[in-house]
Amino acid sequence: MGDQSVAASGGVLTRRRFFEGLAAFGGVSLAMAGMDALGFGFSSAMAAPPTLEGDAKGTKVVVLGAGLAGMTAAYELTKAGYQVQIIEARSFAGGRCQSARKGFQHTDLNGNAQTCDFDEGLYINHGPWRIPYHHRSTLHYTKLFGVLLESFVNDNDAAYVYFEKGEGPLKGKPVRKGQIAADARGHAAEMIAKAASKGQLDAPMTAEDRDLFVAYMINEGRLSATDPSYTGADGRGFDVKPGAGVDPGPGKESTPYSLADILHSKAWQVLTSVAGYEQQRTMLQPIGGMDQIAKGFEKRVGSLIRYSCVVDKIKQNAKGVTVTYTDKFGEQDTISADYCICTIPLSVLKNIDADFSKPFKAAMSGVAYAPVNKIGLQMKTRFWEDNHFIYGGHIYNDMPGIGTITLPSTGWQSQKGVLLGYYAFGGEAVKVSMKNPADRAAFAVAAGQKVFPEYAENFETAFSFSWHLAQFNLGGWAEWSEDGRKESYPVLCEPDGRIYLSGEHLTYLGGWQAGAIESAWQQIGKLHARVRAA
């Protein structure tokens, strides 16, 4: 940028090159934290379920899976007069919509058995944990079921950025995200304002345009109108804080980092001009845990659920569908229905004995599932609030296997709290998941200690969850390749005989609860149209 950009363009900083430079400097997504893997930038497309008008004709439907997709389908179908039965492998409803609190038990595929022993009232949302304002389908049910919401702080300028792989004086040093933002944008605004004031922009920008743009840059970078040099901004904080009386008086604004130090530290990678569409700066969460949404559904369809029943076979003919399952006593039983809505993740479904058509079976192999880890760490004090004045938000970092450390957006100023010690994806998640629970906790605590000196001494207990080691999930969410979306995805969105698939894996809202809900809405609409036509 700056002089190098001018030289590269033959002496003229064009508007095209200028905006390209802005994108390169401040438009980097938060990919290092794995956030965009949850949504791919697609918004919720539906605000309410389809209207299922007309006679259901006594039609029986068996729903496989009591996650949000399965319970959504069951709830709406029963309202329309269908006879519905749900088969659920777990002893509780919700699917991925889980919260670990005192007494919650989990044994992973490596044989690691855990019982959560957080203090009463504390929990970790180890499944979905936030809701964007535009996921109207999820919010439809939270309002309908009276699930109260609170704010989830998804971005916080007071939170720390910690990068070990950069260079310079900021390497391995916790720095406030707001300070990095102020200094990076301030220095950038200075260079752009100086270039613009000298007329070094494209001819299409008139003198009036240039003056207005310089004024905008001066405002953006908190620069002086008489000397557009960046010297800091009160928004980044104070070395000596202002106070009452004459001492300390007005305080002393903090000293900015140099542009070179920021660039070499790589901390600028956490900055974006606007939030990602699926990653709004402020989001929503249910008060008391994300599982409150699952419980809202369960209150209404729980009587339809057969718990602890693992599906063994799915068979169909021209007249109906028969599902064979093994119950919690080890006894095998069957259930028959006219149609089936199957919400079992494809990672699990493709290993079940089912007489799907050959194209359908082939399509199920066209998607991979993401390895995903989370760990909740109970701390005996909320030192991040008491000592560092950070209320919610993420600690972005480049520590392998950690991904993101997140501070709770609930229980502010209480004695204890549970923070998210890591949230990692891919190969690094697999490595950490091979550790036993105690070693996972030790790994997370050691990483957090690099950012907060109080971390280790405050740690009390942990609960970790690896979704790729969860028997009935085998992955956090579906990850479609471009070819998979083109070849396999459309096949699975249509019924195979009398069997309809549903879940986040059959939407462009992968990993989000809205995806599960809207997939169910779409499939029950298709099923009902078929029943009416018959």
Of the given ranges (105-114, 162-171, 297-306), which has the lowest mean pLDDT?
Answer: 162-171
Strand partners, 63: 86, 341
Domain shared by 65 and 198, yes or no: no
Of the given ranges (155-164, 241-250, 267-276), which has the lowest mean pLDDT?
Answer: 241-250
Q: How many domains does the chain have?
A: 3
Residue that finishes a domain, picked among 425, 447, 469: 469
477-531 per-position pLDDT tens digit: 999 999 999 999 999 999 999 999 999 999 999 999 999 999 999 999 999 999 9
Of the given ranges (108-117, 151-160, 241-250, 339-348), which has the lowest mean pLDDT?
Answer: 241-250
Mention every residue, 6+ apart, whose C-beta is less than 8 A from residue 1.
21, 24, 25, 188, 191
Q: Which residue has the higher pLDDT, 153 or 254?
A: 153
- Residue pointed to by tokens 């199957």: 342
> Per the structure block, which two tokens stand in for 438?
């105690």
399-433 per-position pLDDT tens digit: 999 999 999 999 999 999 999 999 999 999 999 99
Q: Is 43 within a domain?
A: no
Domain shared by 344 and 490, yes or no: yes
Domain shared by 253 and 127, yes or no: no
Q: Is 49 within a domain?
A: no
Of the candidates 49, 73, 55, which has an alpha carbon nearest to the alpha carbon of residue 534? 55
Domain shared by 501 and 515, yes or no: yes
DSSP element (H, E) containing 438: helix 437-449
In this prediction, residue 279 has a pLDDT band, given cuts at 50, 70 and 90, of confident
Domain shared by 506 and 358, yes or no: yes
Alpha-carbon distance of 109 to 136, in angstroms, equals 35
Domain shared by 440 and 495, yes or no: no
| Residue 287, pLDDT above cutoff 90 | yes
Q: Is 298 within a domain?
A: no
Q: Is 209 within a domain?
A: yes
For residue 17, the model assigns a pLDDT of 40
In this prediction, residue 27 has a pLDDT band, given cuts at 50, 70 and 90, of very low
Q: Is 32 within a domain?
A: no
443-474 per-position pLDDT tens digit: 999 999 999 999 999 999 999 999 999 999 99
Of the given ranges (34-48, 134-148, 369-383, 465-479), which has the lowest mean pLDDT?
Answer: 34-48
- 3-class SS string, 268-300: HHHCCCCCECCECCEEEEECCCCHHHHHHHHHH
Q: Model's pTM, two decimal places?
A: 0.85
Alpha-carbon distance of 526 to 534, in angstroms, equals 12
Q: Are 307 and 88 in contact (CB under 8 A)?
A: yes
- 3-class SS string, 101-139: ECCCEEECCCCCEEECCCCCCCEECCCCCCECCCCHHHH
| Residue 302, pLDDT above cutoff 80 | yes
Domain shared by 389 and 284, yes or no: yes
For residue 200, the model assigns a pLDDT of 63
Q: Which amino acid appears at position 514 of this protein?
A: A
Enter the DSSP assignment of 65.
-
In this prediction, residue 201 has a pLDDT band, given cuts at 50, 70 and 90, of low
In this prediction, residue 281 has a pLDDT band, given cuts at 50, 70 and 90, of confident
> Within its chain, how far is the Cα of 209 from the centroid?
40
CA 93, 95, 97, 103 torsion-angle sign: positive
Domain shared by 403 and 286, yes or no: yes
Mean pLDDT of 87-108: 98
Residue that finishes a domain, picked among 469, 501, 521: 469
CATH number at 429 reads 3.90.660.10
For residue 241, the model assigns a pLDDT of 64
Enter the DSSP assignment of 534.
-
β-strands 459-466, 393-397 pairing: unpaired
Strand partners, 64: 87, 342
Indicate the average pLDDT of the chain: 87
| Parent domain of 347 | 60-91+307-366+480-533
Q: How much is the CA Rg of the chain, to the nearest whole Å?
A: 27
Residue that finishes a domain, picked among 447, 469, 491: 469
CATH number at 352 reads 3.50.50.60
Q: Are 375 and 440 in contact (CB under 8 A)?
A: yes
Q: Is 301 within a domain?
A: no
| Residue 227, pLDDT above cutoff 90 | no
Mention every residue, 6+ apart, whose C-beta is less than 8 A from residue 66.
86, 88, 90, 93, 94, 95, 298, 301, 305, 307
CATH number at 203 reads 1.20.1440.240
For residue 235, the model assigns a pLDDT of 72
Mean pLDDT of 301-330: 97
Domain shared by 207 and 222, yes or no: yes
> Per the structure block, which two tokens stand in for 360?
């359908």
Q: Is 275 within a domain?
A: no
Domain shared by 146 and 118, yes or no: yes
Whole-Å CA distances, 63 to 67, 223, 245, 503, 520: 10, 61, 69, 12, 11
Mention every residue, 6+ apart, whose C-beta is less than 8 A from residue 395.
159, 160, 161, 162, 174, 404, 405, 406, 407, 448, 451
Mean pLDDT of 18-29: 36
Q: Is 176 within a domain?
A: yes
Alpha-carbon distance of 221 to 67, in angstroms, equals 48
- Residue pointed to by tokens 């900083």: 13
For residue 203, the model assigns a pLDDT of 57
Of the given ranges (102-106, 258-262, 362-366, 455-459), which has the lowest mean pLDDT?
Answer: 258-262
- Residue pointed to by tokens 């790729």: 468
| Residue 274, pLDDT above cutoff 80 | no
Domain shared by 191 and 255, yes or no: yes
Domain shared by 286 and 394, yes or no: yes
Alpha-carbon distance of 41 to 47, in angstroms, equals 18
Mean pLDDT of 356-379: 96
28-38 per-position pLDDT tens digit: 222 222 223 33
Mention every residue, 6+ apart, whose C-beta is less than 8 A from residue 472.
89, 90, 344, 345, 348
